[in-house]
Amino acid sequence: MMSILKKLQERVTTTGIYVFFMCMVGLIVLLYTNHWSFLHYSTTEWVTIYSLLGAVLILEHFTFQLPPASNKQSMDSSVYLACIFVHGTEIAILILLFNVIIAAFRHTELSWWKHAVNFSIYALSIFVSSTVFELSGGTQGALNEDHFTSYLLALICYFTVNTITLGIYFYIAYKGSFNELKQAFLAESLLVYLCTLILSLVLTTLIYYNGILGLLLFLGLSMLLSHAFKQMFTMYREIEEKANTDRRTGLYNHSYFENTLEAELNISRSQNTPLSLALIDIDDFKKYNDHFGHLKGDQLLGFLGEFLKKETFGTHITVSRYGGEEFTLLMPDHTAEQAYEKVNAIRKRLNDSRYEGVEIFPHGCLSFSAGIAQSRIDIYDKSQLVDLADKALYYAKKQGKNIVHTHGSLNEVEREVDLGQDIRDLEQQLNLFLYKDINTFKHSKRVFRYAADMSDVLQLGPKDKRRFLLGALIHDIGKLEIPWNILNKKEKLSSEEWRMVQAHVMWGKRIVEANERFIDLVPFVELHHERYDGGGYPFGFKGEQIPRLCRMLTIIDSFDAMTTERPYQPTKTFEEAIEELRTCSGSQFDPELTAIFIQYIQHKQPAFTQSIEAGL
């Protein structure tokens, strides 16, 4: 924080020095060029001055923009240059001074020093241009073709001084890069200044020979050119928008995303600022498409597009359709943790959004899975960041969908613990929950990960660790035998229905016993609903009658059930679940193991907050 404040203070100090310097330059130019001749001007001369001042004000009003950038331009400089060529420096500076005074009254929201700096920059440009014009042999009056070099040098000097002084100001005040300044003040302005050169020479001739009539003709021509430039810019923007917009969703398309990603990566590397990418995939979109047809599927894509635009409105987040049912959120100045908080909040609000036909989804609501990756210093190509986000998305899908996962943030036990074929075989059975009760599938995955960490906390040997991990993974397998309408019922269960739910431990035991290789997992399946005080089921075992690791599984199973997020239903917070464990310690849970688990979970809270909030 101190370094940021120090840099800000240095920037303010540097800007102040530049402002003071430019104001002094402007004052010197004003005093040097002012010979008090205006005290003796005739009525005709004052009419000319007021007419030229009016022309400047009109041209400043008719600003325009040139593609591809959007910096506003005007042709008022042609009036100052023509005034130099016909009437001299003093009148040009006088017109500029009147214009700045009027602007100060019209734009009171701007600080006085901004008007002063604006006057100084243009006064210096006029003075240098006029001096070079005279030194190179130029004479005031009618356009002289023999002195074309003088006119050209005057414009070059005007352009150079104006560009450098404005460029230095923007670099100091806004810390833009030199490449940005080059684009803003050279590439964009060059065409305008070429037009200014030609128009200033045209105006010189019109003013000298035709007076006010010539000035009116010039204004008509300039306003038509300004209108033409404005129309050209509008057409460019319309074409650009169509080229960069996805028709189905109204979001930016894949090409725009790739270009923006590359630009943001460059900014992130050069300015050492965080950048995160979220890759989003609509869960079970193909199922919705097959059930309702492609037209309804397109409408769902459009709905999600509008939803994401609304959720990111007013931020610097760029939302794009990546392809198919995939979307991207490009998040400048977001760390992975900040990106997770934002995307997960969006996911939760989508879960609670009503939409026609959501009952066919396994979660019973609209949902998406998301993978998040943060740019690192070793990421030098945009495809690397996309690949990391895609891997995180794949992991989120693998855990049962409707999850936001940050690359590298979780234990990801399946990759670290090599239980080989045992895990793969059990997961084949567990995958059946994807079609019947996805919440049980996800719950089993989460309990498995908790068990992996607790096996290290309890310092289990290889044999006990294998049993504990596989038992945690398969403990609810008996729920496959519970009818779907009971398993997913939101109302209170009847006595008969509750007995059927309780029977899942016995059904699970039979399923596990069918494979002799996993016979040692039976206690975890059969006893994970026993209570320490003897009030559990199916046997009512008490205390040490329940195997120690089964008592540990009961704690893990209950804690995850309390913190599991489901659409339209309240969820216990992290702290509330811990308090519930303490309250039930000695009754439902083994007090010693409860204390160990609470200590572990509090220590691991930063790493596990994401998974708990996301329902992992």
pLDDT (tens digit per residue) in 406-431: 987 654 444 444 466 777 778 777 87
Rg (CA), the chain: 36
pLDDT (tens digit per residue) in 490-508: 788 888 989 999 999 999 9
Asked if 518 contacts 470 with a C-beta cutoff of 8 angstroms, the reply is yes
Asked if 328 contacts 257 with a C-beta cutoff of 8 angstroms, the reply is yes
Burial 283-307 (b: 16+ CB within 10 A, else e): bbbeebbeeeeeeebeebbbbbbeb
Given pLDDT bands bounded at 50, 70 and 90, which one contains residue 306? very high
- Pick the closest to residue 37 from 89, 104, 96 (CA basis): 89
Cβ neighbours of residue 131 closer than 8 Å, sequence gap 6 or more: 89
> Higher pLDDT residue, 302 or 568?
302
**Cα torsion through 551, 552, 556, 559, rounded to 10:** 60
According to the model, what pLDDT value does residue 605 have?
64
Cis peptide before 538 (omega within 30 of 0): yes
Asked if 137 contacts 200 with a C-beta cutoff of 8 angstroms, the reply is no
pLDDT (tens digit per residue) in 544-555: 889 999 999 999
According to the model, what pLDDT value does residue 229 have?
77
Mean predicted confidence (pLDDT) in 295-322: 93
From CA 167, how far away is CA 170, in angstroms rounded?
5
Percent of residues, the chain, with pLDDT higher than 90: 41
Mean predicted confidence (pLDDT) in 340-359: 92
User: What phi and psi, each to the nearest 5 degrees, are found at residue 352?
Assistant: -95, 5
Instruction: State yes or no: pLDDT of 7 exceeds 80.
Output: no
CA angle 278, 280, 282 (to 5 degrees): 170
According to the model, what pLDDT value does residue 592 have?
96
User: What phi and psi, each to the nearest 5 degrees, are found at residue 99?
Assistant: -65, -45
Instruction: State yes or no: pLDDT of 300 exceeds 90.
Output: yes
Residue 550 φ/ψ region, left for φ over 0, alpha for ψ in the -120 to 50 degree band, beta for the rest: alpha
pLDDT (tens digit per residue) in 556-588: 999 999 988 766 567 788 889 999 999 999 999
Count CB-CB contacts under 10 A for residue 176: 14
Count CB-CB contacts under 10 A for residue 481: 15
Instruction: State yes or no: pLDDT of 381 exceeds 80.
Output: no
Residue 512 half-sphere exposure, CB side, CA atoms within 13 Å? Answer: 27
User: What phi and psi, each to the nearest 5 degrees, are found at residue 65?
Assistant: -130, 150
- Pick the closest to residue 596 from 564, 563, 548 (CA basis): 548
According to the model, what pLDDT value does residue 190 have?
66
According to the model, what pLDDT value does residue 454 have?
94
Percent of residues, the chain, with pLDDT higher than 70: 87
Given pLDDT bands bounded at 50, 70 and 90, which one contains residue 598? very high
Output the pTM of the full model: 0.60
The per-residue pLDDT of the chain, averaged, comes to 84
Q: Determine whether 55 is exposed, middle or buried from the number of CB atoms within 10 Å of its CB (0-12, 13-18, 19+).
A: buried
- Pick the closest to residue 52 from 203, 222, 227, 226 (CA basis): 203
According to the model, what pLDDT value does residue 173 have?
60
From CA 295, how far away is CA 297, in angstroms rounded?
5
According to the model, what pLDDT value does residue 183 have?
53
Helix (H, G, I), strand (E, B) or coil at 298: helix
